[in-house]
């Protein structure tokens, strides 16, 4: 009887610990989001979003951020997807596959500031791109390669073998099967990879600071230096030259937070749809 | 060369790594007949089937020797594997329609061969679905996803998809094992129709099915072809003790 009671107590205690941990996480999230948005909301005006004057608005930073995201994806998606396809569909030599995977995992583990250093040296200096959107995007595209490769490979793995066999048995070539059956089936997973990659690029600061720079004007081309929202946020809080800098920092933060939340919801929605489809196929 | 022989197999040996899955198989598959392959699990009958359209080539560590000919031409050296597979179609154990519309599933094969003419494609789709006895059930929802069909319908769709290529031989790997009795009945009826135009090789776990639908039956045991002959003959007067034991259900 005593034993039974003590076990009951332990169960109860455990329940409370878990409940507290969950509540803690939820509260933290709610607090951060609510705080940032509430603080930032008053500053989120149309002028703030569209003004090209860095003292008033963030248009140059928005544009720079979009450029950096776009160019990074343009470079890393083809390379990443092709690598994942090679690993999952073509490579037969297990030693080679293991080596490539090890390389990818190692890339994923390198601190981002090191990428920044590398980018500064190779792209900005040696290749002579200077601090520019292009140099930064190239740096970031290397940094997000592991995310793209790993997620795409996961997506390819979930495509049932029976799809491939069914297609090949109809006398199609491997490329035709890949292009018409495998990749379309993996597309939602690949989209998830893209979204994760965007999230990383948007949130990154150290390597961006080193390679893209901090120029505050509207970038005319990818060869210009620029300042992403994240970097802008850093400078607004650190320097606080303008009197309403803190207000602006929160407005900028609000943009970033909303962006991340939207991105997450989209990922989840796509993943759910994807799982449903695979489920009904099995 | 015998005019009535569609596929001829001579001294076929096949290994998965060190394991020999098929041993010295020699048999001839006649034109416009249904050949059933029976035998206990793991006896090599599915592997044998997958040799005939070289699907085993996809499996790592699998190698084989021997001579397999389609209309007298060596399938390994005298023809391209994609060409072989357009002539020898396959229906799998689990229905595997692609995650696309019913229409696109059937049109997939011809499209991949380069057929772009919409009218011709429409015609092939209808014709194939009619022949697979599925047309009446799906004609109003050709643009809907094939994954919404029932298991039996999906399997008939896979048959339609194979027929759309106008193959000469259709291989069926336990096509009804994932289906309920009514859906099974429909597929068996369908095979009765199809045998007029195609040579069919079917692997089945059900001896009753083999007896019902086939002209010839091959009994596999431990990678060897134990006995091969006319179905009625084999079931009524088996030549070997093992065959008799198996068809009487003493093991399996």
Summarised one tens digit per residue, pLDDT across range B7-54 is: 999 999 999 999 999 999 999 999 999 999 999 988 999 999 999 999
Residue (of A262, A208, A217) closest to A63 by Cα position: A217
B75 at A interface, C-beta within 8 A: no
Q: Report chain A's mean pLDDT, rounded to a whole number.
A: 88
d(CA A85, CA B80): 24
Query: Mean pLDDT throughout A135-141?
Result: 95
Domain assignments of chain B as residue spans, ordered by start: 5-100+167-247
Summarised one tens digit per residue, pLDDT across range B136-164 is: 999 999 999 999 999 999 999 999 999 99
- Among A91-95, A163-167, A266-270, B58-62, top mean pLDDT goes to A163-167
User: Does residue A278 carry a pLDDT above 60?
Assistant: no
Out of A165, A172, A185, the one facing B82 most closely (by C-beta) is A172
Predicted pLDDT at A282: 35
d(CA A62, CA A58): 6
B175 at A interface, C-beta within 8 A: no
Tokens at A42, concatenated: 């008053």
Predicted pLDDT at A261: 85
- Domains delineated in chain A: 45-281 (1.10.3720.10)
Predicted pLDDT at A279: 45
User: Does residue A218 carry a pLDDT above 80?
Assistant: yes
Contact A172 B112 (CB under 8 A): yes
The whole-model pTM stands at 0.82
Provide the strand spans (E) within B71-194: 73-74, 88-91, 169-173
Residue A218, number of CB atoms within 10 A of its CB: 15
Chain A, residues 23-82, CB within 8 A of chain B, namely none
Asked if A225 and A131 touch (Cβ cutoff 8 Å), the reply is yes
Predicted pLDDT at A275: 63
Predicted pLDDT at B227: 94
Compute the CA torsion angle A178, A182, A188, A192 (nearest 10 deg).
-60
Contact B92 A169 (CB under 8 A): yes
Residue (of B175, B212, B191, B208) closest to B91 by Cα position: B175
Chain A, residues 164-203, CB within 8 A of chain B, namely 165-173, 176, 180-181, 184-185
Asked if B246 and B235 touch (Cβ cutoff 8 Å), the reply is no
Cα A198 to Cα A108, A191, B158, B182: the distances in Å are 15, 11, 40, 51
Query: Mean pLDDT throughout B193-216?
Result: 91
Confidence of residue A280 (pLDDT cuts 50, 70, 90): very low
d(CA A199, CA B116): 41
A277 at B interface, C-beta within 8 A: yes
Summarised one tens digit per residue, pLDDT across range A220-258 is: 888 988 899 999 988 888 876 677 788 888 999 999 888
Asked if B107 and B121 touch (Cβ cutoff 8 Å), the reply is yes
% of chain A surpassing 90 pLDDT: 55
% of chain A surpassing 70 pLDDT: 94
Q: Sheet of B169-173: strands edge to edge? A: B73-74, B62-70, B5-16, B19-30, B224-230, B216-221, B34-38, B199-203, B169-173, B88-91
**Interface with A, mutate which of B55, B83, B93, B108 (most A CBs under 10 A):** B108
Classify domain B5-100+167-247 by CATH number: 3.40.50.300
Predicted pLDDT at A274: 65
Cα A132 to Cα A47, A127, A200, A213: the distances in Å are 26, 12, 19, 7
B15 at A interface, C-beta within 8 A: no
Summarised one tens digit per residue, pLDDT across range A75-101 is: 999 999 999 999 999 988 889 999 999
Predicted pLDDT at A269: 84
Predicted pLDDT at A281: 41
Residue A163, number of CB atoms within 10 A of its CB: 19
User: Does residue B252 carry a pLDDT above 60?
Assistant: no
Predicted pLDDT at A95: 93
Confidence of residue A2 (pLDDT cuts 50, 70, 90): low
% of chain B surpassing 70 pLDDT: 98
Query: Mean pLDDT throughout B191-209?
Result: 91
Summarised one tens digit per residue, pLDDT across range B220-250 is: 999 999 999 999 999 999 999 999 999 887 6
b/e burial code for range A77-109 (CB count within 10 A of at least 16 → b): beebbebbbebbbebeeeeeeeeeeeebeebee
Predicted pLDDT at B174: 92
Compute the CA torsion angle A115, A120, A122, A127 (nearest 10 deg).
140
Distance from CA of B218 to the nearest CA of A (A): 23
**Interface with B, mutate which of A97, A167, A171, A183 (most B CBs under 10 A):** A171
User: Does residue A273 carry a pLDDT above 50?
Assistant: yes
């Amino acid at each position: 009887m005593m034993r039974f009671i003590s076990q009951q107590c332990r169960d109860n205690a455990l329940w409370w610990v878990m409940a507290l941990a969950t509540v803690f996480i939820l509260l933290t999230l709610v607090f951060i989001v609510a705080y940032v948005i509430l603080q930032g909301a008053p500053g989120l005006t149309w002028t703030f979003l569209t003004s090209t004057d860095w003292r008033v608005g963030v248009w140059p930073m928005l544009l720079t951020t979009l450029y950096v995201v776009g160019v990074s994806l343009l470079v890393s998606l083809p390379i990443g997807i092709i690598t994942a396809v090679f690993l999952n569909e073509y490579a037969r030599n297990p030693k080679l596959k293991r080596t490539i995977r090890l390389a990818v995992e190692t890339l994923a583990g390198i601190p981002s500031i090191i990428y920044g250093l590398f980018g500064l040296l190779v792209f900005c200096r040696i290749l002579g791109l200077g601090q520019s959107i292009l140099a930064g995007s190239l740096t970031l595209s290397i940094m997000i390669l592991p995310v793209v490769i790993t997620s795409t490979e996961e997506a390819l793995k979930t495509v049932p073998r029976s799809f491939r066999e069914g297609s090949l048995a109809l006398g199609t070539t491997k490329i035709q099967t890949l292009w018409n059956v495998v990749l379309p089936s993996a597309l939602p997973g690949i989209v998830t990879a893209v979204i994760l990659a965007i999230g990383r690029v948007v949130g990154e600061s150290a390597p961006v600071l080193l390679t893209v720079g901090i120029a505050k004007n509207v970038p005319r081309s990818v060869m210009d230096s620029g300042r992403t929202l994240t970097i802008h946020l850093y400078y607004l809080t650190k320097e606080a030259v303008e009197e309403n800098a803190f207000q602006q920092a929160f407005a900028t933060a609000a943009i970033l937070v909303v962006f991340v939340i939207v991105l997450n919801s989209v990922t989840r929605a796509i993943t759910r749809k994807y799982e449903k489809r695979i489920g009904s196929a099995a | 060369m015998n005019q009535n022989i569609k596929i001829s197999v001579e001294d076929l040996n096949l290994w998965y790594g060190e394991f020999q899955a098929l041993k010295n198989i020699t048999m001839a598959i006649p034109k416009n007949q249904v050949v059933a392959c029976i035998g206990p699990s793991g006896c090599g009958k599915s592997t044998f089937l997958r040799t005939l359209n070289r699907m085993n080539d996809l499996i790592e560590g699998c190698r084989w020797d021997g001579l397999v000919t389609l209309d007298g031409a060596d399938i390994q050296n005298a023809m391209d594997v994609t060409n072989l597979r357009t002539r020898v179609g396959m229906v799998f154990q689990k229905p595997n329609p692609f995650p696309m519309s019913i229409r696109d599933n059937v049109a997939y094969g011809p499209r991949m061969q380069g057929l772009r003419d919409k009218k011709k494609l429409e015609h092939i789709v209808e014709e194939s679905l009619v022949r697979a006895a599925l047309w009446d059930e799906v004609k109003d929802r050709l643009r809907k996803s094939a994954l919404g069909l029932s298991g039996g319908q999906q399997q008939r769709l896979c048959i339609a998809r194979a027929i759309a290529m106008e193959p000469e031989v259709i291989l069926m790997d336990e096509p009804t094992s994932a289906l309920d009795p009514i859906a099974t009945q429909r597929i068996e009826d369908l095979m009765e129709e199809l045998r007029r135009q195609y040579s069919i090789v079917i692997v089945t776990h059900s001896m009753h099915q083999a007896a019902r639908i086939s002209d010839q039956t091959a009994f596999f045991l431990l990678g060897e072809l134990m006995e091969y002959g006319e179905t009625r003959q084999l079931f009524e007067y088996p030549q070997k003790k093992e065959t008799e034991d198996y068809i009487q259900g003493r093991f399996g």
